[in-house]
Amino acid sequence: MFHGDYNFFDYKYNIVGYNGQDYGSFPQYLYLIISVVLLVILLFLLRKSSREKIKKIIRIMGIFLIVFYISKTTWESIYDINYSGSFNTGLLPLDTCSLPMIAYILAGFTTKKTEDYSKSWMITGGIVGGFATMLFLNAFKYYPFLSFGAMYSMIWHFIMVFMGLLLIVTNYVDYNYKTLLKGFIFHILFSLIVIPLDYIFNWDFMMYKNMGSIPIFEDIGTKLNNASLGFLNPIIMMVLYFLAFNLIFFVIYGIKKLMIKLKKNHNNTNKKSWNLIFHLFIY
């Protein structure tokens, strides 16, 4: 873990001596361990929550994420403008991990149909984006574990996974393949806004233009762009997103089925045990 001379709210360029030492090392593993423990505890405590309580949590989290995002963006923009004299467009809320702000608000405050598609994304795309980032937290490349820049990313992506799993554990959403498709449609609708902006302004939000940060595919994206075949990148990314949605869906589906089977076997075992005790005492 990095132990330099810096303050919690220091900007990345002001943290002398930090060159991504916490990325892929003990702090990242510590974060994952803490996250798993917290997830288990929180989901266990909230597993029997009423629908009203879950909706209230969604609303609170939606408002919290917006305030959290504005606070962090303001903090970072002040430094960016001081260093470069311009706003960092990479902070715009157009990436996959910005979607929770929209999804939570729509799921908490809008009509049933909009709510349905939003919460479907929460248990598919939300978990995919949150979990993938938790495994490879890029914030550690720029900020040490004990810093606001890193804490922001750690908290944000933990919430994405937690909220998605909470809806599944409490049966707030019908967990079937139709739900996956609704979540993906939500994802596509947002993508239709992002893709044109990526090509107009040469951005790479949601990785549609260059497939940046994805091993192997980043190289493929570069080669396709150089060969004037860059229009294929969004199509490939859309397929990758769909595969990721399916992967997380079937993994959780399998776990749910296994848990139901184990619970059923446990209940049957207990029932047989009580029957045995009954016969022993009566006869």
Straight-line distance from the first to the last Cα atom of the chain, in angstroms, rounded to the nearest whole number = 66
> How many whole angstroms separate alpha carbon 58 and alpha carbon 275?
44
Residue spans per domain, the chain: 16-282
Question: pTM for the complete prediction?
Answer: 0.88
pLDDT digits (tens, 9 = 90+) for 235-258: 999 999 999 999 999 999 888 888
pLDDT of residue 272: 56
The chain-wide mean pLDDT, for the chain, equals 89
pLDDT > 70: percent of the chain: 94
Output the CA–CA distances (angstroms, integers) from residue 263 to 210, 259, 260, in the order listed: 46, 6, 5
